[in-house]
Amino acid sequence: MSMKKEAGVSFSGFLMWCIIFAFGALMGMKLGPAYVEDQTIQKHFRTIAKDSAFASGNRREIEAAFTKRAEIDRVEAITPKDIVVTKVGDGITLSATYTQRIPLVYNVSACLDFNPTSK
């Protein structure tokens, strides 16, 4: 008769994995929306920069176009005044720089720096 060694996870090991999973889920739920908003801003920048109607670089038209798109997608991280318009050849390049500070727990916050561009 041979003795089989039991395999499994101890209670303390299970608790440690639960804490690691909970921390990862918390970070994902807190920081995820900021990254999604940054991707949305980049998408709007690319769309506006590719549109031949804005190739002249008229700032008011670009700001109005961004405002319309930002209202639909609830972009609150930047305003149209934060957009930097650069004329490149026959087209334009849009960019912005902004920081988001996200409270995590108690007095601990995450400071995220974003630099979306239409390139």
Rounded CA-CA distance 21/41 in Å is: 30
Residue 100's H or E segment, with its range, is: strand 98-105
Mean pLDDT for the chain? 89
Dist. CA 98–CA 113, nearest whole Å: 6
Percentage above 70 pLDDT, the chain: 99
pLDDT, tens digit, for every residue of 21-58?
999 998 999 999 999 999 999 999 999 988 888 777 78
Take residue 40 and report the two structure tokens written for it. 């949305």
pLDDT above 70 (res 101): yes
Q: pTM of the predicted model, to two decimals?
A: 0.79
pLDDT over 90, % of the chain: 54
